């Protein structure tokens, strides 16, 4: 990663959701560790993919970075400087979000023009004619002729067209960061690539920093420059996308890859692991993946693994990559300084 | 994924019309229902009377003419030779030309009173409803949107008002507020205070659900302020509900006003200070002066009928709004009428897709393959009838062979689910099968059950019941939500086995249930679990186990793993394919994920816009697609290996079934489309003499086949996930 400060950085983000267990006067509030000590760096002109199963906390990370929800711990930095507290308009002008469901993210009672014009009005960006800017935005996301689309209601558009409108709305304030939460998972297969290619264009031409949240590792490989894999609220592996899919270092990444559909496979796949993600009400001790891990060792049950650099820019949080002689040493706090280790001591 | 009837009903039936036209269509459609027209008519008539009634009365409602407008009847035992002075009591006249609704005992004209009463009654109703609706919007929407302590405080206030019985409070208020009776504004305010809480609660609930919608969140992310979000984003979505609660409150307010006037709290029109004439006051006078006992129906019946009529009118309008909000209500009645109009006779059997009797089933003679278990010939399915019908499936042929996996691939709306469910006749109206033949060649594994060939489209309900589940089981994407949440998984297995395997004892049933769970990779202990204690993957496994419980010959798997994570999906598919090898059932696997299908199916059929477009062995389809659509679809899945290259996908979007392109439905998105493709619909026909079929003009009549569609056939190999070849 470059030496310059990233456009947007989340440092040691932690988020607990409180749930009630039991009923009436016997109810207890229990914390769900949705996101635990996750650090993400988003650089201009690059796409970072956040990959994981449902419940891994990837959407929560996106919403934390968009400041829709407040973190319980950790900080958000813009250009290396702490972001202002709350959600001021200046932050909205920097960080924008595209939601998963294009059928829910546009207000059914308003025309497309309203959806695109409002952000311009809020941020006082339409110095001249609002309609011209709106037409320009619609052209940017390949909805032509723009005038015709601007006059339509959301229900008159297909899913793919709606998602393009949602992207245009996010672009209206000329943000530098775009958080795309599963932008294609609700769309038909044949139009997904169109949206992914649009995001790639925005990265290359507008130098946007994009966080692409997805469960589909193949599309992450296609679009992203860097892939971060999340498991049970924690980051387990971060690497350049081709490096990560070709040489996965963390057993969980290996499991995900072995399960993904891949018609090119010559051999029937062998699942590298089994079971389901743990309950985040009481996550497993040590490495959260150890109950499912085919390589689990004794140390995995006791201590959270440190972040190990297994190759340039390739970090995995796994004891397998710690030299056996140092596994003991690290238990004494010799090398492990990663955020995961901090999480362990805090708990 | 599924085209269900509600989804169809929600979309306004219009072509490529521009926005304003469609939107107007939405509003104009409201009065089309006869109920709404009747409601509008009634309310309009009363509204007109309310507006002009006071000025078109033939007499003043207070006017008395005691000489001419009442009969004078001698009180028995007075006058004449009784020794007492003659005493008369008044008797009102019945309807006549001079007094359309007769007169009262006070020698007043009832018709005039009725006309004059309408205004105050409706005014109080509307005013009270307006105040109540304003209160409920302020309380309900702010409580719902702001949440937290504000919500708790406001909800507490609303609940207190809900808990207070309305009428007693009204009586107390009307009695103690000085001069309340004579001021209709005060009366309206009192009624509003007692009726707003119901609507506030509804609006709060709706706002709560809207608050977390993505479009509200999106507005927040774009920097929109709270007030604007409530006014511009949330309120417009509440309009139908606000309208419905306004009408409901109007109705309640009118009843309340009539009630308190009837109790004498509304102020007498002839008293001081003078109250206003209203229906309740008319009823009160009538009842207080023996109108019922005297049989003077013209005095008390008209105001009563007016209250009932206006109530009916408002309720009918409200019903129309309900239908507007929830289109599901609308289709129910329309279905039968539309079918009748199109001349289709529909069976009344519930749970069976009707087969249209208008056209004789035109089928080519079935040439059954020896190992075929399910054969579908020329199946066509419509949603709706006659000219408005949407052709969801057109002329499809499929043959499922014993022990094989047939993959059915297509995008949403391509008709793949409709095809499978219609073959089982599991779709409800307005789905209708317009032609075709579905043959099930039964050779039950259990030795019991129906044997021989059954025509499912000709079968009766009883015969279908014998086949469904026990011989042909269906697992849907949403099956995991089909488990009953209040009884244990074990009890649900037990129910199933008790009905279909009556010979098994309770212990045997329990053992068999455990065995079934273990078959799909679950611990038998899970029989004691309730569905909510299981994860989504577990529940779907349990459903698959249940589908397998009766050893079916055919499994129809409609996106069984789409809602699940990849790892769970892979585990379940491995279990399923292992079971298929062991138990020997045939599977029809429906999914949009062609890359997954290539790994597990023996043969794949590709659907587009309701038609089967290509059918080939899985490996051939993947390595050497012949159809441009298949070729494009395969290029929509980024590879997991090798260098990353830009991919294009397929331009455009899937067509709207209500407005299909001419000729080949794929031609607007096809890079090789020819002139012919825009005119003629290609039919599925063999190519290469290799046993594979494609519906594409590029492979007909010596057309130039692009290199991408002429790759050599790969060496045949079994599907990847097939553990052993039988």
Residues of chain B positioned with their CB less than 8 A from the CB of A189: 411, 592-594, 633, 636-637
pLDDT band at B339 (very low <50, low <70, confident <90, very high): low
Higher pLDDT among residues B291 and B352, named by residue: B291
**Per-residue confidence (pLDDT) for residue B7, from 0 to 100:** 36
Q: Where are the domains of chain B?
A: 120-325
Residue of A nearest to B414 (CA): A188
Please check the confidence at residue B461 and state whether its pLDDT lies above 80: yes
* Distance to chain B for A291, nearest Cα, Å: 15
* Buried b / exposed e along B48-58 (16+ C-beta atoms within 10 A): ebbeebbeebe
Contact B353, B425 (CB under 8 A): yes
Mean of pLDDT over chain B: 83
According to the model, what pLDDT value does residue B173 have? 74
Looking at residue B342, its pLDDT comes to: 62
- Chain A neighbours among B 638-677 (CB < 8 Å)? 638-641, 644, 646-651, 653-654, 669
pLDDT band at B724 (very low <50, low <70, confident <90, very high): very low
% residues pLDDT > 70 (chain B): 87
Question: Which of B254-268, B293-307, B473-487 is predicted most confidently?
Answer: B293-307
Domain count, chain A: 1
Question: Chain A: nearest CA to B538, how far in angstroms?
Answer: 10
Condensed to tens digits (0 to 9), the pLDDT of residues A306-333 reads: 999 999 899 999 999 988 877 765 544 3
Contacts 24+ apart (CB under 8 A), B269-272: B269/B61, B269/B62, B270/B62
Q: What is the pLDDT of residue A85?
A: 84
The answer to whether B21 contacts chain A (CB < 8 Å) is no
Among all residues of chain B, which has the CA nearest to that of A121? B224
Residue of B215, B237, B537 lying closest to A276 (CB–CB): B537
Is pLDDT of B24 > 70?
no
Residue to test with chain A: of B12, B638, B665, B671, most A Cβ within 10 A:
B638
| Residues ≥6 apart with Cβ < 8 Å to B288 | none
Model pLDDT for residues A13-45, shown as the tens digit of each residue: 999 988 777 666 677 788 888 899 999 999 999
Is the CB of B411 inside 8 Å of chain A's CB atoms? yes
Residue A165 has pLDDT above 60, yes or no: yes
Give me the domain span that covers residue A280: 250-259+271-347
Quick check: A166 and B218 CB within 8 A? Answer: yes
Question: What's the pLDDT score for residue B477?
Answer: 81
Average pLDDT (B555-576) is 87
Residues in a beta bridge with B408: B590, B605
Q: What is the pLDDT of residue A22?
A: 67
The percentage of chain B sitting over the pLDDT mark of 90, rounded to a whole number, equals 34
Residue A339 lies in a domain: yes
Name residues 239-268 of chain B within 8 A of A (Cβ).
Answer: 239
The alpha carbon of residue B636 is apart from the nearest alpha carbon of chain A, in Å, by: 6
Q: For residue B449, what pLDDT is reported?
A: 73
- pLDDT confidence tier of residue B351, bands split at 50, 70 and 90: low
**pLDDT value at residue B329:** 60
Contacts of B237 in chain A (CB under 8 A): 107-109
Cβ contacts of B608 within 8 Å, gap of 6 or more: B410, B411, B414, B629, B654, B665, B666
Q: Which residues of A touch B638 (CB under 8 A)?
A: 193, 218-219, 221-222
Query: Chain B contacts of A291, Cβ < 8 Å?
Result: none
Q: Which chain A residues have a beta carbon less than 8 Å from that of B595?
A: 261-263
Q: Residue B18 — very low, low, confident or very high, per pLDDT cuts 50/70/90?
A: very low
Q: Which residues of chain A have a CB within 8 Å of the CB of B599?
A: 261-263, 265
Band of pLDDT at residue A51, cut at 50, 70 and 90: very high
* d(C-alpha B390, C-alpha B388), whole Å: 7
Q: What per-residue confidence (pLDDT) applies to A263?
A: 79
What is the complex's ipTM, to 2 decimals? 0.85
Rounded to the nearest angstrom, the gap between the alpha carbon of residue B307 and the centroid of all alpha carbons in its chain is 33
Whether the predicted pLDDT of A343 surpasses 60: no
pLDDT digits (tens, 9 = 90+) for B629-641: 999 999 899 988 8
pLDDT score of B31: 55
DSSP label at residue A36: E
Tokens, residue B333: 């009645």
Collect all residues of chain B within an 8 Å Cβ-Cβ radius of residue A92. Answer: 221-223
Residues A169, B535: C-beta atoms closer than 8 Å: no
The whole-number pLDDT of residue B28 equals: 44
**Cα distance from B290 to chain A (closest Cα, Å)?**
56
Which stretch of DSSP H or E encloses residue A229?
A: strand A226-231
pLDDT at B181 exceeding the cut of 80: no
> In the predicted model, is pLDDT for residue B350 greater than 70?
no
Which residues in chain B touch residue A104, judged by CB atoms under 8 angstroms apart? 213-215
Structure tokens given for A4: 């310059």
Residue A173 in domain: no
Measured between beta carbons, the chain B residues lying within 8 angstroms of A264 are: 639-641
What element of type H or E holds B57? none
Distance of alpha carbon B536 from alpha carbon B542, whole angstroms: 10
Of A123, A264, A269, Cβ closest to residue B641: A264
Q: Which fold has domain B120-325?
A: MetI-like fold (1.10.3720)
Question: Does residue A288 or residue B563 have the better pLDDT?
Answer: A288
- The strand pairing partners of A41, in sequence order, are A9
Q: What is the pLDDT of residue B25?
A: 40
When pLDDT is averaged across residues B560-571 and rounded to a whole number, the result is 85
Percent of chain A with pLDDT over 90: 55
Residue A158: the pLDDT is: 86
User: Residue B321: is its pLDDT beyond 90?
Assistant: no
Residue in A122, A161, A255 nearest the CB of B567: A255
Lowest mean pLDDT among B116-130, B444-458, B481-495, B566-580: B444-458
- Mean pLDDT over residues B371-386, rounded? 88
Return the bridge partners of B260, or none. none
């Amino acid at each position: 990663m470059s030496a310059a400060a990233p456009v947007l950085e989340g440092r040691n983000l932690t988020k607990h959701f409180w749930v009630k267990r039991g009923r009436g006067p016997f109810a207890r509030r229990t914390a769900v560790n949705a996101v635990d000590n996750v650090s993400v760096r988003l650089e201009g002109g690059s796409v970072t993919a956040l990959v994981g199963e449902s419940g891994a906390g990837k959407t929560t990370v996106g919403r934390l970075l968009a400041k829709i929800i407040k973190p319980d711990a950790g900080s958000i930095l813009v250009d290396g400087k702490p972001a202002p507290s709350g959600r001021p308009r200046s932050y909205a002008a920097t960080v924008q979000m595209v939601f998963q469901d294009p059928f829910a993210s546009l207000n059914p009672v308003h025309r497309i023009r309203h959806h695109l014009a409002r952000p311009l009005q809020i941020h006082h960006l339409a110095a001249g004619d609002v309609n011209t800017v709106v037409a320009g935005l619609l052209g940017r996301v390949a909805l032509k002729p723009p005038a015709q689309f601007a006059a339509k209601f959301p229900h008159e558009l297909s899913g793919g067209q709606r998602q393009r409108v949602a992207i245009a709305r996010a672009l209206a304030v000329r943000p530098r960061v775009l958080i795309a939460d599963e932008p294609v998972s609700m769309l038909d297969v044949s139009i997904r690539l169109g949206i992914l290619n649009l995001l790639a264009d925005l990265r290359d031409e507008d130098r946007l920093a994009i966080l692409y949240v997805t469960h589909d590792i193949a599309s992450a490989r296609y679009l992203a420059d860097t892939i971060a894999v999340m498991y049970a609220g924690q980051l387990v592996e971060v690497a350049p996308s081709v490096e990560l899919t070709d040489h996965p270092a963390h057993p969980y990444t290996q499991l995900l890859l072995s399960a993904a559909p891949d018609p090119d496979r010559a051999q029937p796949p062998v699942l590298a692991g089994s079971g389901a993600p743990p309950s985040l009400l009481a996550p497993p001790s040590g490495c959260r993946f150890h109950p499912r891990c085919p390589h689990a060792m004794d140390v995995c049950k006791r201590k959270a693994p440190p972040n190990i650099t297994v190759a340039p820019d390739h970090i995995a949080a796994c004891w397998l990559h710690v030299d056996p002689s140092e596994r003991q040493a690290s238990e004494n706090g010799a090398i492990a300084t990663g955020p995961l280790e901090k999480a362990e001591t805090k708990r | 994924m599924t085209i269900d009837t509600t989804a169809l009903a929600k979309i306004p039936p219009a072509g490529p019309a521009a926005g304003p036209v469609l939107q107007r269509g939405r509003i104009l459609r409201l009065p089309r229902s006869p109920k709404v027209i009747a409601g509008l008519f009634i309310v309009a008539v009363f509204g007109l009377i309310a507006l002009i009634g006071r000025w078109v009365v033939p007499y003043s409602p207070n006017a008395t003419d005691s000489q001419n407008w009442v009969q004078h009847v001698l009180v028995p035992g007075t006058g004449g030779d009784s020794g007492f002075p003659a005493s008369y009591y008044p008797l009102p006249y019945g309807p006549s030309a001079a007094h359309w609704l007769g007169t009262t005992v006070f020698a007043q004209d009832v018709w005039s009173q009725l006309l004059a009463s309408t205004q105050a009654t409706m005014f109080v109703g509307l005013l009270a409803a307006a105040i109540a609706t304003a209160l409920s919007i302020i309380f309900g929407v702010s409580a719902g949107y702001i949440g937290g302590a504000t919500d708790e405080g406001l909800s507490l206030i609303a609940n207190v008002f809900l808990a207070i019985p309305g009428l007693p409070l009204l009586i107390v208020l009307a009695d103690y507020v000085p001069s309340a009776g004579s001021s209709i504004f005060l009366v309206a305010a009192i009624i509003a205070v007692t009726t707003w809480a119901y609507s506030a609660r509804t609006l709060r609930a709706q706002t709560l659900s809207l608050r977390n919608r993505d479009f509200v969140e999106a507005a927040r992310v774009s920097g929109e302020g709270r007030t604007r979000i409530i006014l511009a984003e949330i309120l417009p979505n509440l309009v139908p509900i606000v309208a419905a609660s306004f009408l409901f409150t109007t109705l309640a307010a009118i009843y309340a006003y009539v009630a308190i006037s009837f109790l004498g709290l509304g102020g007498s029109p002839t008293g001081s200070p003078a109250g206003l004439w209203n229906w309740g006051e008319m009823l009160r006078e009538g009842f207080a002066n023996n109108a019922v006992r005297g049989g003077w129906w013209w005095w008390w019946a008209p105001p009563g009928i007016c209250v009932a009529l206006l109530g009916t009118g408002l309720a009918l309008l409200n019903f129309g709004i309900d239908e507007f909000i929830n289109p599901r209500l609308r289709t129910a009645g329309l279905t039968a009428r539309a079918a009748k109009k199109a001349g289709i006779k529909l069976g009344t059997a519930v749970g069976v897709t009707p087969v249209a009797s208008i056209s004789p089933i035109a089928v080519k003679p079935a040439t059954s393959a020896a190992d075929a278990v399910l054969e579908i010939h020329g199946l066509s399915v419509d949603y709706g009838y006659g000219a408005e019908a949407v052709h969801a499936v057109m002329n499809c042929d499929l043959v499922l062979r014993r022990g094989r996996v047939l993959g059915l691939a297509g995008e949403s709306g391509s008709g793949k689910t409709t095809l499978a469910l219609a073959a089982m006749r599991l779709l409800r109206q307005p789905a209708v099968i317009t032609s075709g033949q579905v043959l099930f060649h039964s050779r039950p594994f259990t030795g019991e059950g129906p044997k021989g060939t059954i025509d499912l489209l000709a079968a009766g309900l009883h015969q279908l019941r014998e086949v469904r589940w026990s011989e042909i089981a269906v697992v849907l994407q949403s099956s995991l939500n089909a488990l009953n949440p209040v009884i244990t998984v074990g009890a649900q297995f037990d129910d199933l086995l008790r009905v279909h395997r009556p010979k098994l004892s309770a212990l045997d049933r329990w053992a068999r249930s455990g065995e079934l769970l273990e078959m799909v990779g679950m611990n038998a202990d899970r029989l004691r679990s309730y569905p909510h204690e299981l994860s989504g993957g577990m529940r779907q496994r349990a459903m698959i186990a249940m589908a397998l419980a009766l050893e079916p010959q055919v499994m129809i798997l409609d996106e069984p793993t789409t809602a699940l994570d990849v790892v769970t999906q892979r585990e379940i598919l491995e279990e399923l394919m292992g079971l298929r090898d062991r138990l020997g059932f045939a599977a029809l696997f429906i999914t949009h994920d062609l890359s997954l299908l290539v790994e597990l199916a023996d043969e794949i059929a590709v659907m587009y816009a309701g038609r089967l477009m290509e059918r080939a062995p899985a490996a051939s389809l993947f390595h050497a697609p012949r159809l441009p659509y298949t070729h494009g679809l395969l290029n929509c899945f980024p590879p997991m290996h090798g260098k990353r290259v830009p991919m294009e996908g397929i331009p455009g979007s899937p067509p709207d079934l209500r407005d299909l392109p001419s000729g080949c439905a794929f031609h607007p998105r096809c890079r090789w489309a020819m002139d012919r493709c825009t005119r003629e619909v290609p039919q599925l026909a063999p190519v290469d003499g290799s046993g594979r079929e494609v519906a594409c003009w590029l492979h007909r009549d010596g057309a130039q086949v692009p290199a991408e569609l002429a790759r050599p056939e790969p060496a045949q190999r079994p599907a990847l996930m097939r553990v052993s070849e039988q």
